[in-house]
Amino acid sequence: MTLLYFIIAISILVVIHEYGHFWVARRCGVKVLRFSVGFGKPLWSVTDRHGTEFSVAPIPLGGYVKMLDEREGPVPEHLLDQAFTRKTPVQRIAIAAAGPVANFIFAFLAYWLLSVSGVTGVAPVVGEVVQDTPAWEAGIRTGDEFISIDGRTVNTWQEVSWALVSYIGEDASIPVVLKDVDGLAKQGQIEVSSWLSDDEVPDPLTGLGIEPRRLELPASIGEVLEGGAAAQAGLQAGDRILAVNGQPLADWYAWVDVIKAAPGKLLSLTVNRAGMELAVDIRPAVKTLDDGTQIGYVGAAVSVPDVPESWLRTAHAGVIEGIGIGLSKTADYIVFTLESLWKMLLGDVSVKNLSGPITIAKVAGASASGGLESFIGFLALLSVSLGVLNLLPVPMLDGGHILFGVAEWVRGKPLPERIQVAALQFGLFLMLSLMAVAFYNDLSRL
């Protein structure tokens, strides 16, 4: 299912991006030879009355629009006026920019739709605060609810996280407003220094020492993974773990702590199954973490109860108000992406944050499991990232074509061919290097 959602997500965004190029190219009088979703030999294709082949290829990692171009071979005399290379620099710049612009338009429409239909999330109420952390020093305590961060109103934990991520890698004083358990407003300043700059997967809340309010989870099993220690011991979905080695369990969190602390050790469980108590022996499997620490795991998932309505916050916007929200969110994420890339170049944020298709696929699957609202939000964010990355002034990307077009517009003639070839070679080297780093990060996370 993860692979399926990845293909769906990439295909949607590729069609949107390439349609931007296609639409503007047609209006500039350029003949489009092929519109392909995916790479490789087409699995399916159809040709329209303009001679454009629309195809679906088997490698779902992108797509392309192939235009009539003198650089790729001889062009018949009667078609020269439809070649990409015969168009003015302004037209070629517009064609190159149209793909990223289409991504931004899609993101805006997605955020507008979500804001109008209503976005639901968990209220940002603090569960625990670790002592001697930035949050503790700022006076944040259990039961406090975030109201705003740096003047930006926040209604859910997702909004809190997004308000904080822009501070990653920085030395800053973050102004926050909260209300305590009695409903009284309180203000604070969270002081951070080179915050989370070395973290591979930075978590803003953990980095501040905050743990959100947690549901009470009894130690009830919702799913047993085939072949795991739990399945081998005979545990079943619906079982409730009452005690381990005669010691009562308070909740699922306590059960997890016991299992993690007992890799390879035999444990005696007292289990309630359909009202009957059973004795079950289990030996947790051993997992070795990156730092060499060994923990136990049994291959069982919790039975999660529904989140109480009082814990949820739903924000609805009017049709007109939603336009402002859509524009604001799209602009915020464009700026966030550019700032993140800049911080990586400066070394303020680790390059371990670069992700490739494996991580994108995992996030696609996770967001889809959260429902349509979550998946649309993921598509919008990925669309912004795709648009920004393609606008970077790197040859082989849309931004590189725009750069060449601007240079020709200013000079009144194209850049020398040797410079264009050298730039393309550099661009190819840079893109392959970034892809290698992203794949390495993906594999290391597995």
Q: What is the set of active-site residues?
A: 18
Cα separation, 170 vs 163, in Å, equals 14
Roughly what angle, to the nearest 10 degrees, separates helices 89-117 and 2-27? 130
What pairing do the DSSP bridges indicate for beta strands 32-39 and 53-56?
A: parallel
Cα separation, 443 vs 169, in Å, equals 24
Q: Nearest 5°: CA angle at 308, between 121 and 247?
A: 115
Positive/negative CA dihedral, 206, 209, 210, 215? positive
> In sequence order, what are the residues at sequence separation of 6 or more whose Cβ sits closer than 8 angstroms to the Cβ of residue 283?
229, 233, 264, 265, 266, 267
Cα separation, 67 vs 386, in Å, equals 21
Cα separation, 410 vs 412, in Å, equals 6
Extract the tokens encoding 356: 């490739």
> In sequence order, what are the residues at sequence separation of 6 or more whose Cβ sits closer than 8 angstroms to the Cβ of residue 382?
9, 13, 360
283 SS3 class = coil
Q: Are 263 and 248 in contact (CB under 8 A)?
A: no
Cα separation, 443 vs 354, in Å, equals 12
